[in-house]
Amino acid sequence: MTDGRRYFEDIRVGEEYESPGRTVTETDIVLFAGLSGDYNVLHTDAEFMKKSIFGERIAHGLLGLAIQSGLFYRSGPVYATLAFAGLRWKFKAPIRIGDTIRLRARVLDKRETSRPDRGLVVVERKVLNQRDEVVQEGETDLMVERRSGRAG
């Protein structure tokens, strides 16, 4: 252990983590619209959304995905992640302005890869709101550095 990060060998299938909460604000949504260029009325037109099934603007689904990615770093010891390899993701319910979301994650699987310096870690994730409703969930594939492959 030199830098406190967790390598492929350190991670165990079945480990669970829970993050602190984060309140999603109007500012987050406005900034994400500017960054992504996604100005869909769902996220930007309060008057239009008053007449929708949601009744108000909701967060971009991908904003929720980005925020949970940040929350993962605050859920426990940080992985020695080399790359995000992929994900399978469902948006189950809207994230509204003022909602406080948190991440519950569990290591689902670990696999060797063809490269000796890294392994694949599959993490199951659920994003919960303040009422414990699952708003987003899915699986993410992370390429994590191997301790044994570092010197080579």
In the complex, the residues that contact another protein under the rule CB under 8 A are 22, 28, 31-32, 34-40, 42, 48, 51, 53, 60-63, 65-67, 69-71, 73-74, 78, 83-91, 94, 138
Instruction: Give the whole-angstrom CA distance, residue 56 versus residue 16.
Output: 34
Our CB check for another protein shows the closer of 14 and 53 to be 53
Rounded to a whole number of angstroms, the minimum distance from the CB of residue 28 to another protein is 6
Kindly state the DSSP code that residue 97 receives in the 8-state scheme: T
Our CB check for another protein shows the closer of 12 and 42 to be 42
Partners of residue 22 on adjacent β-strands: 101
Our CB check for another protein shows the closer of 14 and 55 to be 55
Q: What amino acid is encoded at 122 in this protein?
A: V
Contact 11, 143 (CB under 8 A): no
